[in-house]
Every structure is written in C-alpha cells, then in structure tokens.
Amino acid sequence: MSTIRLRNYQQQAVAATLNHFRHSNESALIVLPTGAGKSLVIAELARLARHRLLVLTHVQELVEQNHAKYTALGMQAGLFSTGLGKHQTDYAVTFASIQSLASQTERFTQPFSLVIIDECHRVSLDENSQYQQVLQHLRHYNPSLKLLGLTATPYRLGQGWIYRRDYRGFVRETDQAIFEHCIYELPLSHLIREGYLTPPVCQDAAVHHYDFSRLEHPDDSSQAAAVNQLLRKYPRVTQAICEEVMTLAQTRRGIMLFAASVEHAEEILGYLPGTEAGLITGKTESQLRADTIQAFKQQKLRYLVNVSVLTTGFDAPHVDLIAILRPTRSISLYQQMAGRGLRLYPGKQDCLIIDYAANGFNLFTPEVGSPKPAADTEPVQVFCPDCGFANTFWGRTDDQGQVTEHFGRRCQGLVEQATQTEQCRYRFRFKECPACQHENDIAARRCEHCNKTLIDPDDLLKRALSLKDARILRCAGVTCEVDAHKLTLIYHDEEGDTLKESFDFTRPGQRQRFNQDFGRRLSPTPRCFTHAQEVLLYAGHLRHPDFVIARRQKHYWRIEEKLFDYQGRYRKAYELH
C-alpha cells in the first residue's frame, strides 16, 4: 500500500476535519480552490475512516476521478454510478453519483458514519431534492450521520452563502445554510504563490467591450431576450473582440470564450476559424458535447465557445486564454470562469484573462455573498463600531478610496458571550420598533425584542395616499440649514418639491431623535451630535429617507413618518419604474 504525500494545506484540511468531528456532529465545510487537489483530501479522509463512508458528487467524471485517486493508494472502494455501469454497495468506502444513488436508495441499508459531498455548493435545502432525499434516507439508518462538504465556491447564485459559522470568527448572513461550520478555507492566492496554479494576467478590455450595466438581472438565464436585444446594439463589437482574441491567440494554446447567450455564442463561433473552434451550450447533444470537449482537450480545437456550461467541473489544463464576453454580477461565477485557465501545464507561463463585459471583478475580489447591487458598486471593508470586525459588503468609494456608502445590514463578527459565541448584534441598517425602539432587520415583520408587529411601510404609504391632508414626498436627497441651535433638514424630491423638519438641539428629546434617525445612520461611521453646527460638517454624508410622510397643520406640514431602507411596491426616487 502506498502512502499519500499530502501538501501542507491538504494536511491542514484533513486535520481540521478530524478535529471537528471529534467534538461535534454538526455539518462541516472545507473550501479549496479548483486545482487544490480536493480528491487527495477525500482519499486521505477515506483512508483514515474507521467506519463506513460515502463520497457523493453530481458529475460522473468526478466520481471516477475521486475513486481513482483513492484506489491508486492500493485501497479497495466501491463505485456506484449508472453511467459507469457499476453498482457496488459492499465496500467500506463507496464513491457514488447522486443521481444514481437517488434513484436506488433502497440498495443502501447499512449505516454510514460520514458522507462527504464533493462540489457541495450544488446541494439545495429543498427537501425534495436528490441530496436531501438521500441524506434523509441515510439518517434513517444512522441518525447521527456526519456530513462534510467540499467546494471551491461556498455560495449558490441567487441564494447566498451555504454555511453559517466561519472558523475565523464570523458568521455568514444566510437563510440557506446547508452546512453549519466552515472549518477550513485555502485562498486562491496561496496556490498561485506556491506555484500550484498558473499566475493569471487579468486585463479589462481596453478598446472593444460591451456595456451591460443597464441589464437588471444579467445572471438570470430567462433574460436571454434582453441580453440579445442589448447585444444587437453592438453589431461590430463582437466581431472586433473576436479579431482581438485571435490576434492574442497566436501565442496561446487553448482559448475559452464565455458567451452571454446561445445566439451570441453562435455569432462568436461565426467569426472564429471554422476548423479550429467548437461550441457547447446547454442544448448541445451529449455525444457531440463529449466529442467537442475531447477534441479541445487534445488540442485539435484551439477555441471553445460556451454558454454557462463549462464554469465548474471542466478542466483542460492547457487553457491559457480566457475571454469573458458575458455579464455577471456574481464574483464567484466570474472566478469560476477565470479559474478554468489556472491549471498547470508544461510550458505554460501564465493565463491571460480578459473581461470584455466590464464586470469589474478580478480573481482576488472577495466574495460578498450577494449579487452586485449596482454596476458602480464594489466590495468594501466596513469595520463594526461595536466589535471591530472587518466586514466585507457591497459599497461605493470616493476618489480617495474612502467608503462613502455600503449595503451591509448587520455585523458578521462572532462575539464571545458568557457561554457561547454568537453573531454581533450591531446593525448598519435597521427598522426601529416604534414601541420599544429596538433596531430590527429592515425586512422584519415583528420586533424581535417586544414581538409587536412592525407596520408594513406599504400600508403606511397606502394610508397616507388615501388621506386628504397627508403628503408623501419621494425623497431624492436631504440638505440642512442651521440657525443657532436649530437644525432644519430639507427633504427634496426629484421635481424640486421639498418638506422641512426642524430639530432644536437645546431640547434633549429632539436632539436624541435626530441622532437616532440620522446620526446613527451616518455612513460609514455613526455619530452622536451635540451641537447643530456640528451637523453641517457631515451634511454631505447624511442618509436620506426614501419616503417622507407629512400631515397638514394650520400653517405647516408636520413630518409623521420617515421610511428608511424602503423595500416594497412603490417606486423610489430615480428608480426606472
């Protein structure tokens, strides 16, 4: 029997797993970039396992590859995959395809101690999904079944993080935690620095590129029509891009192009040399798909165009030019595409990655866990005023790189309490409970402190609309004036109409109201003001409410409600519809 020589980080990942399951039965997750050698980590865990172990994944190639890595050590293991024509269930270690197992769960009636899921970002919480059905079945035979996931990208597009607690001392904002703990993560930069992956050379397209910034949901595949419509406005750009790629390709071996839609991909293919280029879309028939991939891997084809099918689980190590012609607001999707070119290959010095879609990411951009909210936003670091944790949120910066605004809601730091650690309670954005002043999440329906129903902002707006003496201002900005101790805020709408609200700073109640509504929301750092004059220095940083509701008094409008962080049916200022 040969022994595995594990790299340092692979050893650390194995040690972290053993250590975790020695103390806990809660599910765990390991994050290793593509190319880190996940199958060796799995093989070593299987070798060390004292009880029955099952390794699951959704792609046949991976089932085969993981199995091969393990048996290469001289160990025996079962394969369970209809595609591979094997249905072995009697080994202590079994490598299975989730599809094959899900359709024949009745063949697995012996208790497993640990299930390892490779590419576990594919697991869904839906209890009717194959993974959940299989796990439920296995738990029937062992209620304390342990679950370990491995992935390069611990988030699902459109759903967010797949785990809750991170070993580095923070939590991930998520309602979709499939895994409780992330116990180990290796950064991509480490693999590149250590020479395990090819250095990327990332470039934004200088001359020819698309502008997809007006596209509202670029990652939604049902939006292909909108994408095509937009692309038709660039009839010459696609051709120019392809010509540029072909010029660059003269010194390159393998070129992958990521297209925005099937129509787009076909257009791209039309500009590339016919005998040297292949195309794969979600609709490509499976034999043709396999043949095309093989021809590309054997370097009979130099160009491979695809539409969102080869972003994970595909590896042709010789690829040294990646051209991204599709829009995405997902950092992880961008990194998956770019990551296709990082494998080592003899004679390969680097991999050129060109973004023709101005997505604005690079390979080392930290994942924020939610899609980019607007084209001009970027990941920013925001320190928690309470616990000091450095959060990463979407935000905007000024010319000096200072954060001027961010979209974070709650601090993600983990803080020590008397008996356990829990998520820091500091909220950057909040809905204040009118009854107890507790700060709740902006989407909360009930106060988490006093349990009173929080009035739906849409109901407030609807009610105000029905009143003759009420006025709603769709607020687009706020300015302020100071007269001695009196601060007056002027709320402006898009048309130039205004409403005013005054705060007398000599009166503690009014001063407190101002601080709670505006000082507390000052971005990026909250502030408690003692003098009206002081506010002028921060005038440009005051966050304005989205709606201001006022009631008519005899001689003026009295502000009744201010709706901050509005989410609902009504259009906010400067929104398109």
The size of the interface with Zn ion (CB under 5 A), counted in residues, is 15
Return the residue matching tokens 């759903």: 159
- Is the distance from CB of 13 to CB of 28 less than 8 angstroms? no
Which part of the chain contacts Zn ion (CB under 5 A), choosing from 404-412, 495-503, 513-521, 534-542? 404-412
Give phi and psi for 177, each to the nearest 5.
Answer: -70, 110
Q: Is the peptide bond before 545 cis (omega within 30 degrees of 0)?
A: no
Q: How far is the CB of 439 from Zn ion (least distance, A)?
A: 9
In angstroms, give the least distance from the CB of 332 to Zn ion: 25
Query: Scanning residues 448 to 487, which ones bind Zn ion (CB under 5 A)?
Result: 449-450
Helices (H) and strands (E) in the chain, counts: 14, 30
Measured from the CB of residue 430, what is the shortest distance to Zn ion in angstroms?
12
Please count the other Cβ atoms lying within 10 Å of the Cβ belonging to residue 26: 14
Q: Which two tokens stand for residue 478?
A: 């706020």
Binding mask 414-453 for Zn ion (x = CB under 5 A): ----------x-x------x-xx-x--------x-xx---
Q: Which of 319, 207, 169 is nearest to 258 (CA)?
A: 319
CA distances from residue 40 to 4, 8, 50, 67, 440 in whole angstroms, order as listed? 8, 12, 18, 10, 45
Contacts of 288 (CB under 8 A, 6+ apart): none
- What is the rounded distance in angstroms from the CA atom of residue 360 to the CA atom of residue 219? 15
Q: Which is nearer to Zn ion, 161 or 430 (CB)?
A: 430
| Residue 222 CB coordination number (10 Å) | 7
- Minimum separation from the CB atom of position 396 to Zn ion (A): 21
Between CA 208 and CA 564 the distance in angstroms is 40
- Complex with Zn ion: residue 297 or 527, whichever CB lies closer: 527
Identify which of residues 316 and 411 has a Cβ nearer to Zn ion in the complex: 411
In the region spanning residues 332 to 391, those forming contacts with Zn ion, defined by CB under 5 A, are: 384, 386-387, 389
Q: How far is the CB of 178 from Zn ion (least distance, A)?
A: 25
Which CB, 147 or 384, lies closer to Zn ion?
A: 384
- Determine the length of the chain: 577
- Which residue, 289 or 410, is less far from Zn ion as judged by CB? 410
Residue 491 gets the label, from left (phi > 0), alpha (psi -120 to 50) or beta, of beta
Token pair belonging to 453: 């129903």
408 binds Zn ion (CB under 5 A): no
For residue 389, the minimal CB distance to Zn ion (Å) is: 5
Taking the complex as a whole, the smallest distance from the CB of residue 447 to Zn ion amounts, in Å, to 3
Residues 6+ apart with CB under 8 A from 346: none
Q: Which residues are CB-contacts of 99 (< 8 A; sequence separation ≥ 6)?
A: 58, 82, 130
Cβ proximity of 207 and 171 under 8 Å: no
Q: Nearer Cβ to Zn ion, position 150 or 411?
A: 411
Residues β-bridged to residue 503 = 487
Q: Which of 31, 279, 411, 489 binds Zn ion (CB under 5 A)?
A: 411
To Zn ion, the closest distance from the beta carbon of 429 in angstroms equals 14
Nearer to Zn ion, 75 or 442 (CB): 442
End-to-end alpha carbon distance in the chain: 67
Q: Provide the minimum distance between the beta carbon of 431 and Zn ion in the complex, in angstroms, as a whole number.
A: 10
For residues 66 and 42, the answer to whether their CB atoms sit within 8 Å is yes
The whole-angstrom separation of Cα 442 and Cα 277 is: 50
Handedness of CA 512, 518, 520, 526 (dihedral sign): negative
* Residue 430 vs 503, nearer CB to Zn ion: 430
Smallest distance from Zn ion to CB 412, Å? 8
Residue 308 beta carbon to Zn ion: minimum distance, rounded to whole angstroms? 37
Burial class (CB in 10 A: 0-12, 13-18, 19+), 574: exposed
Residue among 208 and 409 whose Cβ is closer to Zn ion: 409
362 within 8 A of 341, measured Cβ to Cβ? no
Q: In whole angstroms, how close is the CB of 413 to Zn ion at the nearest point? A: 4
Shortest Cβ distance from residue 393 to Zn ion (Å)? 13
Where would I find the beta strands (DSSP E) of 356-438?
A: 378-383, 390-397, 403-406, 414-416, 421-423, 431-432
Q: Decide whether 341 or 413 has the Cβ nearer to Zn ion.
A: 413
State which residue, 7 or 409, has the beta carbon closest to Zn ion: 409
* Nearest residue (CB) to Zn ion, 357 versus 387: 387
Q: Which stretch binds Zn ion (CB under 5 A): 96-104, 108-116, 373-381, 408-416?
A: 408-416
> Furthest-apart CA pair in the chain: how many Å?
92
In the range 145-174, which residues lie near Zn ion by CB under 5 A? none
Where does this chain touch Zn ion (CB under 5 A) — which range of 62-70, 97-105, 113-121, 405-413?
405-413
Residue selected from 369, 395, 413, 519 as contacting Zn ion according to rule CB under 5 A: 413
Residue 101 or 424: the one with the smaller Cβ distance to Zn ion is: 424
Which residues of the shown chain bind Zn ion in the complex (CB under 5 A)?
Answer: 384, 386-387, 389, 411, 413, 424, 426, 433, 435-436, 438, 447, 449-450
